[in-house]
A and B are shown apart, each in its own frame.
Chain A
Amino acid sequence: MLVHSPRARLAVQAAFFALFLPVFALPFLVIVAASLATGWSGAFPSGATLDHYRAVTHGDALDALTTSVLTAVAASAAALVTGTWAALAARGTRARRVVDLLFVLPVAVPSVVVGLSLLVAFSKPPFLLNGTPAIVVLAHTILVTAFAYQSVAAALDRLDPACEQAAASLGAGPLRVLVQVKLPLLLPSLSAAAGLCFALSMGELSATMMLYPPDWLPLPVKVFASTDRGALFPGAALAVVLMVTTLLALFAVSRIRTKAAYR
């Protein structure tokens, strides 16, 4: 404890909330409030309405949500498989440092540039992906694989080798050890990584803006298009839908995690 006098402690805490709430909590409250309004008069939103949300239940907005969820699921799955494979294979070998470096590189490269590089590489045969949904999924996969790899590699470093060795001494070959011992023990970390990948993919805007074809328009692009033409309040509703979907996925994943951890 740093501050011992109760009055000083109260002052510090008051200062904390005076800073924390407006800076970090207010943005979300404002977006939620705006999504339920038609205008803003004075300090508060006005014209309460649910129209913006009704719009999400059909048409373009619903398509954008489906597109985003499909993209995020596909990208997370691909990233999880690639990242887990790489982390498992690199563990304890001399290749570890190189693989570590390669798989965190996408974090350092600007997402816009990742998008550009895919445009440059996959715009002509034999790899003609430009203009297809596949190029968006590919970009998201590249961007989130780094996080999947880092989570799994960190979890593997913490994994006690005693369990795998006990399994091997009992006669289990490498594949059986992987499927029946290592993967179940990694399940909490894997699910956490899946949640992170899903969330990052749901919110990805930079590379997507470079790549999206007209028939594959993810939610963040839709939010941008909406606000860019001045429709701020429907845009806020779309943003809320984006946040809620992300939260639901994170919540579902944390349920799996607690179940796996306490089994």
Chain B
Amino acid sequence: MASTEAVSGGPPAALPRVRVPAWTLVLPPVAALGLVFLHPLALVLWQSVSPEGGGHGFSAYADVFAQAAFRDALLNTVLIAAGSTAGSLVLGFALALVIAFVPFPGGKAVGRFIDVFLSFPSFLITLALLFVYGSAGMANGMWSGVTGAATGPFDFLHTPWGVLLAEITYFTPFVMRPLLGAFSQLETAQLDVAASLGAKAPRIVRQVILPEALPALAAGGSLVLVMCLNEFGIVLFTGAKGVTTLPVLVYGKAILDGDYTGACVVAVVNIALSLALYGLYRMLTTRMDGVRRARA
């Protein structure tokens, strides 16, 4: 037969073959992930309930929760994350709006700049802010030059405000990416029709654009919230003794104090906080079809 000649080398047709189910191929990478990621996380959880003195229990949790440093760090983390997220959302929405709907020459370059911005590490922002607002930096230098005073008025870098400014700067593009995606799917005809019906720009933004952008805003916002909760580099670089967040506390306890159990307790709290929020983020992103994730 012509056809069997063409498929020479194939086994006879009716031979029963033991077939491995296709999904078993995912086992090697999943096993690797389990070994180097899930298993260590489980060990962190285990260590957090295994105090130094031996035995198992929640005594380490009680110890850590009783420390003022931990409560401060928790409060700082949540407040800074919430503030940064709110700031990034407002700034990101305004900037994305202009890029998408008030086109100007160079708009594409701005979009590409944002992509590059996303691939740089966060601590660069803090480093730059040190030169701009630091004690011997640009802003204070200008102030001294104008007023003749020995020191300038800008001294907020080592306070939570400095962290807040750096995080808003760094995370705003993470809000803009999904927003620009959502805006590009919005029919410009819709805006023209709204304008032809006599609607002014603020009304169009409120009644046409904002509802369309809400899913992207929600998804971008919760991603940024998670990343803020987990942010380490920005806080570390400000070198502020007064500003401690949960990741910094984990670092301090484990590396500076050698208190692994305490570090694990803080880590578990941080993970719980982040995972809860990340679950929310995934729920929102799976709902909004077509808009790609900020970093994917």
Write the residues of chain A forming the contact surface with B, with a CB cutoff of 8 angstroms. 1-4, 9, 12-13, 15-16, 19-20, 23-28, 30-31, 33-34, 39-44, 82-83, 85-86, 88-90, 92-95, 99, 102-114, 116-122, 138, 141-142, 145, 147, 150-151, 154, 171, 195-196, 199-200, 202-206, 209-210, 220, 223-224, 227-228, 232, 235-236, 239, 242-243, 246-247, 250
Is A110 in contact with B23, judged by CB distance below 8 angstroms? no
Instruction: Jot down 23 A-B pairs with beta carbons below 8 A, ordered by A.
Output: A2-B204, A13-B104, A16-B99, A25-B113, A26-B132, A30-B132, A30-B138, A40-B136, A42-B145, A43-B142, A93-B22, A102-B30, A103-B33, A113-B270, A116-B254, A117-B41, A154-B296, A199-B120, A202-B121, A205-B123, A206-B232, A232-B131, A236-B127
- Chain A: minimal CB distance from B158 (Å): 13
Is A205 in contact with B191, judged by CB distance below 8 angstroms? no
Tell yes or no: B98 within 8 A of A by CB.
Answer: yes
Bound Cα distance A23, B239 (Å): 21
Is A99 in contact with B26, judged by CB distance below 8 angstroms? yes
Beyond A24-B173, A239-B127, 15 additional contacts (C-beta under 8 Å) are A1-B192, A13-B104, A16-B99, A24-B169, A25-B113, A88-B25, A93-B26, A102-B33, A105-B37, A110-B274, A112-B267, A112-B270, A121-B43, A224-B237, A227-B127
Tell yes or no: B181 within 8 A of A by CB.
Answer: no
Write the residues of chain B forming the contact surface with A, with a CB cutoff of 8 angstroms. 6-7, 22-23, 25-26, 28-30, 32-33, 36-41, 43-44, 47, 91, 94-95, 97-99, 101-104, 110, 113, 116-117, 119-125, 127-132, 134, 136-138, 141-142, 144-145, 169, 172-173, 188, 191-192, 195, 201, 204-205, 226, 229-230, 232-233, 236-237, 239, 246-248, 250-251, 254-255, 260, 263-264, 267, 270-271, 274-275, 277-278, 282, 292-293, 295-296
CB-CB under 8 A for A109 and B275, given A120-B40, A246-B119 = yes
Partner of A31, one of B37, B124, B195, B201: B124
Bound Cα distance A220, B123 (Å): 9
Is B254 in contact with A119, judged by CB distance below 8 angstroms? yes
Which A residues lie within 8 Å of B122 (CB)? 203
Is A1 in contact with B120, judged by CB distance below 8 angstroms? no
Which A residue sits closest to B286, measured CB to CB? A100
Which B residues lie within 8 Å of A120 (CB)? 40, 43-44, 47, 260, 264
Is A110 in contact with B145, judged by CB distance below 8 angstroms? no
Partner of A30, one of B32, B38, B131: B131
Bound Cα distance A131, B40 (Å): 17
Bound Cα distance A242, B119 (Å): 11
Bound Cα distance A60, B128 (Å): 23
The 8 closest A-B pairs by CB, nearest first: A203-B121, A27-B128, A108-B278, A117-B40, A121-B40, A199-B119, A89-B25, A110-B230
Is A107 in contact with B123, judged by CB distance below 8 angstroms? no
Bound Cα distance A17, B236 (Å): 30
Partner of B33, one of A89, A145, A232, A239: A145
Which B residue sits closest to A83, measured CB to CB? B29
